[in-house]
């Protein structure tokens, strides 16, 4: 069942085309990897889906509703959550309070927001930090904290931007485990990732961008053997 449908989306900044006629879809409860070399337009596409940019052309359907051009808060209420490349937390606030900032989008009762925040902290295995300052957490832990905060809005789809970048092998496994648990909950994941050994084994589908254009789409096995993908990552030689 198609949850997210990106249809012929282009995004231009003056004379610069960041995305050109990109189409793909994400089914409910699946993991889709969005990969490509630096400058491929992956984060721009994320920003269009999450409402930070309005597409120049095309449509973005969530459950059949066109959300293209809606502001971020409207996209969030519609069911789109996201994390960012650089994990940003309110360092002087506790981990629980950080997640409550997401939960308060739905829960206007503080006690209920706190209960929801504690639930999602446990989901990402950070319950021990509930009452500790977020600034005391490692980069890996702060990334999982960002995931918990995003999940607290109870999204239909979670956009994760390089959640595994810079992590050691043990931390990558922790991140992978969280993604698999999210999928088990029926929440779709669209993941921008450079750590291919992290995303390839768990993705149901991979979409590849290069210079703003989609050059491949398919299973990880299909994409990894595609000559266009190999050329984009490794060069023609």
What domains does the chain contain, in order, with CATH numbers? 1-79+155-237 (3.40.50.300), 83-153 (no CATH)
Separation between Cα atoms, residue 35 and residue 45, nearest integer Å:
11
Strand (E) positions, 73-204?
A: 80-82, 157-161, 188-192
Q: By the 8 A CB rule, do 192 and 34 touch?
A: yes
Note the pTM of the prediction, 2 decimals: 0.93
Question: pLDDT digit of tens for each residue in the chain (237 aa)?
Answer: 899 999 999 999 999 999 999 999 999 999 999 999 888 999 999 999 999 999 999 999 999 999 999 999 999 999 999 998 888 889 999 999 999 999 998 888 999 999 999 999 999 999 999 999 999 999 999 999 999 999 999 999 999 998 888 889 999 999 999 999 999 999 999 999 877 788 899 999 999 999 999 999 999 999 988 898 888 776 655
CB-neighbour burial class of residue 41 (10 A; exposed 0-12, middle 13-18, buried 19+): buried
The radius of gyration of the chain from alpha carbons, rounded to an integer in Å, stands at 18
| Residues near 217 by beta carbon (within 8 Å), at least 6 away in sequence | 24, 205, 206, 207, 208, 223
Q: What per-residue string of b and e applies to 124-147 under the rule 16 or more CB within 10 Å gives b?
A: bebeebbeebbeebeebbbbbbbb
Q: What is the 3-state secondary structure (H, E, C) of 98-128?
A: HHHHHHCCCCCCHHHHHHHHHHHHHHCCCHH
Distance of CA 56 to the CA centre of its chain: 22
Using alpha carbons, select from 156, 170, 15 the residue that is nearest to residue 82: 156
Pairing outcome for strands 31-35 and 80-82 = unpaired
Instruction: Determine the Cα–Cα distance for residues 72 and 69; give it in Å rounded to an integer.
Output: 9
């Amino acid at each position: 069942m198609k949850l997210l449908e990106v249809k012929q989306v282009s995004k231009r900044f003056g004379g610069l085309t960041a995305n050109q006629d990109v189409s793909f879809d994400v089914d409910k409860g699946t993991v889709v990897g969005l990969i490509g070399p630096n400058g491929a337009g992956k984060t721009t596409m994320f920003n269009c889906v999450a409402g930070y940019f309005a597409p120049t052309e095309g449509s973005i359907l969530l459950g059949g509703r066109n959300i293209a051009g809606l502001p971020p808060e409207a996209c969030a209420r519609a069911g789109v959550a996201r994390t960012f490349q650089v994990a940003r937390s309110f360092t002087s606030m506790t981990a629980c309070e950080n997640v409550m900032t997401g939960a308060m989008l739905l829960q206007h009762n503080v006690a209920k927001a706190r209960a929801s925040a504690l639930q999602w902290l446990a989901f990402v295995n950070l319950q021990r930090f509930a009452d500790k300052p977020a600034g005391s957490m490692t980069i890996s832990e702060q990334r999982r904290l960002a995931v918990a905060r995003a999940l607290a809005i109870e999204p239909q789809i979670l956009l994760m931007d390089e959640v595994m970048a810079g992590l050691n092998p043990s931390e990558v496994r922790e991140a992978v485990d969280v993604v698999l648990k999210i999928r088990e909950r029926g929440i779709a994941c669209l993941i921008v990732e450079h750590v291919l050994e992290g995303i390839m084994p768990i993705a149901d589908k991979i979409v590849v961008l290069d210079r703003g254009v989609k050059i491949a789409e398919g299973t990880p096995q299909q994409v990894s053997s595609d000559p266009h993908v190999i050329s984009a990552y490794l060069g023609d030689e």
